[in-house]
Amino acid sequence: MLKSILENNENYQPGLSIDCVIFGFHDNQLKVLLINTPHSERWSLPGGFIPIDQDIDTAAVTVLNERTGVEGVFLRQFSTFGKIKRNENHFDNEALKHLDISPELGKWLTRRFVTIGYYALVDFSKILPNPINRNEIVEWIDHKEVPELILDHREILDKALDTLRVELNLMPIGYNLLPEKFTIPELQKLYETILDKKLDRRNFLRKITNIGILTKLDEKKSNVAHKAPNLYSFDKEKYDEVLKDGLYQGW
């Protein structure tokens, strides 16, 4: 696929690329979607080049789908990465030879590239990677067990995680990450997993209740060893309203 892009590089924006950080949450685990290619021992974020006939946001969706088979994910642009030597020596002669790319074609690939970062937060149990390139491995990997990454992808990943944590203070999360009915401790654990810190139970309950996006149900969680906690659901209309207007609090 890469060779085909290079052979038709006039159809792609030179010097500009996209990298996607896809976080997945499920059962109190936070993972990130990574790719391993045959020509490198290191892993990478799903990334690629921008067709000249596509808007950048559309190209991000295209890149993610072509590299991983993942679709239907809402991507948010979060930063741009453009250090002078960020991709220097990544595609050396050995890598180009392995990919069956001539040095002449490789010149387009080895120039300086600025990359635009996108991120998303999804339920990884509902997102099954299905890469078009069967020689590539695409896996969900725990965010605390990420192996060595290519280029500056570690920096991009860290920046995306920082952005996600900041945005927890600006908007609610959980609607697509929790069951339809859930408990406050389950919702708190979601926030704690992403923030990587413990939150005071009473303070969390007060803050999340004051947002006004929860509906307390007339039922309790079953099959628990201790006192059964109340079940809640999200009020979708109020949830969407808060998403639009934003929050003004910190965790």
Sorted by sequence, the CB contacts under 8 Å of residue 159 that are 6+ apart come out as: 78, 79, 81, 117
Using left for φ > 0, alpha for ψ between -120 and 50, and beta otherwise, residue 226 falls in beta
The segment(s) of the chain belonging to CATH 3.90.79.10 are: 2-167
Domain with CATH 1.10.10.10 in the chain: 184-245
Domain 2-167: what homologous superfamily?
Nucleoside Triphosphate Pyrophosphohydrolase (3.90.79.10)
Q: What 8-state DSSP symbol labels residue 93?
A: H
Tens-digit pLDDT profile for residues 11-70: 999 999 999 999 999 999 999 999 998 777 889 999 999 999 999 999 999 999 999 999
Nearest to 60 by CA among 77, 43, 44, 79: 77
Task: Specify the higher pLDDT residue, 198 or 102.
Answer: 198
> Is the pTM value of this prediction over 0.85?
yes
Helix (H) or strand (E) holding 22: strand 12-26
pLDDT band at 92 (very low <50, low <70, confident <90, very high): low
Confidence of residue 154 (pLDDT cuts 50, 70, 90): very high
pLDDT attached to residue 107: 79
Task: Assign 156 to helix, strand or coil.
Answer: helix
Please state which CATH number belongs to domain 184-245.
1.10.10.10
Q: Which long-range contacts (CB under 8 A, 24 or more apart) does 192-195 make?
A: 193/25, 193/28, 193/29, 193/30, 194/25, 194/30, 194/121, 194/164, 194/165, 194/168, 195/165, 195/168, 195/251
